[in-house]
Structure 1
Amino acid sequence: MSFLVLSDLEKRYGALTVVKGVNLSVDKGKLVCLLGPSGCGKTTTLRLIAGFVPADGGEIRVGDKVVSSPAGTMPPENRNMSMIFQSYALWPHMTVYQNVAYGLKLRKLPADEVDKRVKAILGVTQLTPLAERYPGELSGGQQQRVSLARALVVKPEILLLDEPLSNLDANLREEMRFEIRRLHDEFRYTTVYVTHDQAEAMTTADLIVVMNNGKIEQSGTPEDIYARPETEFVARFIGGTNILTGKAKGKNTVDVDGGFTLQCGSGSLVEGGKGIVSIRHHDIELSPKKKVDVNSVPRVVKRQIYLGSHRDYLVDIKGGETIRTVAPVDVEMPVGSEAWLHFPPQHCRALTE
């Protein structure tokens, strides 16, 4: 059963509508990622859920409570939600223990209960040895774990995270992705996580919601979003892909502008209309000789780069336009040579605009 429900949610700033009729249902205990480029409306949607800004239309429901509607808005302090910001927002004059205990003391819990819960969450987040240190004495990853511990210790109904890893270096970001997922699996709080990083979303989320221009473009599991994009925007934003355009000959065949025909194993086209085909870089097969007849074309290698684990190729398809593909290191073809491209039909997906 859905625990967090957004219905026709809207937010306007003057003449600009930044959240446009968003509808989303999140089951209790699930982690949903709002994913998209800067300016797509994902952080504004998160702030609407938190109650930091009032909605201009629609409704937000948590369980059996309406927390935002045209009739009124519940203030943030009454929503029983915890939010983690990009900047961690730790009190610099308080120790780790004191930072984590702060929310419990505001709720006037008995001292022994505060101590019990703080020590328990410090253990879970691997912060016990750092309990008496101050934020300025911690690494970025340690500060982020303190922020997580402080948010979790109050046992919120909903946990909100606003690009929490953006200030960390690449190695720490990767480590913290798995840490956030581990903690989610342990506590199973209903969580809404905002990010522009597809790797974060793929690693942490039960459900990915791709936003574009204030609207939800597509939602689904990480596998659904990656393997079965529904629009050109989603295909381009999630993972490396090639987009080929032409004219649809049927429900699964496109006459590509580059002068060849592709059969698509998934998606659907409107005969006679514009045909758009997505195929991932790593799904194209490159070879010096023709291997199969279907979806195979000869073209000229424009660029080849050795990257250790594979070779990265650009292959000309027409008038300066290129296809990018990767191949094993033993597939070595010099620039200017003819190469055969094979587009396996099962990896060619027809898209809508």
Structure 2
Amino acid sequence: MSSVTLSDVGLTYPDGTVGLSGIDLAIADGEFVALVGPSGSGKTTLLRAIAGFLRPTSGSIHLGDSLVADASTLVAPEKRELGMVFQQHAVWPHWSVERNIAYPLRLAGVPKVERRARVDEVMALVGLEGFEKRNPTTLSGGQRQRVALARAIVGRPRVLLLDEALSALDEPLRDKLRLELQTLTRSIGLTVVHVTHDRDEALALADRVVVLDAGRIQQVGTPPELVSSPVSPSVATFLSDATIFTGRLLADVFSAAGHECRVDAALLEGGGSDGDGSIAVLPEDVTLTPGAGAVVMSSLYGRGGNDVVVDWKGIAVRCRVSGRRPLVGESVDVRIARAMFYPSRLPAAADAHDRAAAGRLQG
């Protein structure tokens, strides 16, 4: 097992396209980190740089104490002692399950007796006991992905890299394998870097989540930190479906598109400051009551609460409502229990000490 350290990593392609810029990230030994972000954000590029498929044009990458990449150094992927699982499991159909899993050990010259013992061990870990002689074409998609996972960890890798490893599976199988993956990686103390487009998956599995956009890190934090205290409107929108109001704060009143919300300035970082900016409102911080201030545009049932969108004076506000599901076209009043204010002067990716604090609003 090993830590992963990226120091000021940048990657610019020959045509001038920037893939990564100023990436500083330290992943501890045994930590599970998820990389998320919109399409083109750089999450797969970052994973490929850690794997050794891409050379950074600036900065450095270390696995433990070993330098594996910088502008003049590139240790080959096969020499980094990594395990990798991709969206397409790439299990060889002409080999048995046992032979598929044992392949990295045969490549490394591990003696046959030890090889057999280690294959048996990982097959038990991933729940494939008794499948040794099976042809992979006779297995389900979930079973084939378990074969790929077993093959990735049988060599006892320093770091396990997962690139959309569960996204090709249907629910509820994907949810089942998430739980198994979390249990497995923690039980053997694996360091894991997991790229996923599924926000719920990242928040459920990871010790910390890295949010990327345009090749830069926007925020790194634990799942509760990211959900409750996003550093920017873009992070709040991407991770939590927040509604963004752009307007102006004057004294303790925020005005936006015909809305006026009173802000408890004492709860804003440094007491808050007047000026242009935005507020982000999370769906769970919106309450709907009988009234005529807004109209329900959509209303979808969810096990964690009804997902509702209302038209509130021209702004589409997302809500998560428990109890009775409002009907489309129903008139309601909107109450905001909590919001976060972001002064326009702050960059999109603020440092931790510049994080906009939460304010409580009375709509």
Are 1:195 and 2:196 an aligned pair? yes
User: What CA deviation, in whole Å up to 9, does each residue of 1:72-116 have, x standing for no partner?
Assistant: 211112111111111112111111111111111111111110111
CA contact (8 A) 1:240 1:280 kept: yes
Change (3 A) 1:308 1:163: closer
Tell me how far 1:302 sits from its aligned partner.
Answer: 3.9
Give the secondary structure class of the aligned counterpart of 2:177.
helix
Structure 1 stretch displaced more, 264-273 or 236-245 = 264-273
Q: Aligned AA for 1:239?
A: S
Give the equivalent residue in structure 1 for 2:86. Answer: 85
Q: Aligned AA for 1:260?
A: E
Q: 1:300 aligned to 291, 294, 305, which one? A: 294
Identical columns (%): 35
Give the equivalent residue in structure 1 for 2:340. Answer: 349
Tell me how far 1:336 sits from its aligned partner.
Answer: 5.6
Change (3 A) 1:84 1:331: closer
Give the equivalent residue in structure 1 for 2:212. Answer: 211
Taking only aligned residues, the RMSD between alpha carbons, in angstroms, comes to 2.2
In the TM superposition, what are the counterparts of 1:227-306 in structure 2 within 5 Å? Answer: 227-250=228-251, 253-263=253-263, 268=269, 271-288=273-290, 299-303=293-297, 305=299
Change (3 A) 1:312 1:191: closer
Structure 1 stretch displaced more, 66-75 or 148-157 = 66-75
Give the secondary structure class of the aligned counterpart of 2:94.
coil
Q: Aligned AA for 1:272?
A: D
Q: Distance in 1 between matches of 2:226 and 2:101?
A: 36
Are 1:64 and 2:65 an aligned pair? yes
CA contact (8 A) 1:33 1:205 kept: yes
User: What CA deviation, in whole Å up to 9, does each residue of 1:146-194 have, x standing for no partner?
Assistant: 1111111100111111110121112222111111111111111111111
CA contact (8 A) 1:264 1:350 kept: no
Q: TM-score, normalised by structure 1?
A: 0.89
Unaligned runs of 5+ in 1: 290-297
In the TM superposition, what are the counterparts of 1:1-353 in structure 2 within 5 Å? Answer: 3-13=3-13, 14-250=15-251, 253-263=253-263, 268=269, 271-288=273-290, 299-303=293-297, 305=299, 307=301, 311-318=306-313, 320-330=314-324, 332=326, 335=329, 337=331, 339-344=332-337, 347-351=338-342, 353=348
Q: Distance in 2 between matches of 1:83 and 1:308?
A: 34
Q: Distance in 2 between matches of 1:143 and 1:267?
A: 51
Give the secondary structure class of the aligned counterpart of 2:144.
helix
Unaligned runs of 5+ in 2: 349-363
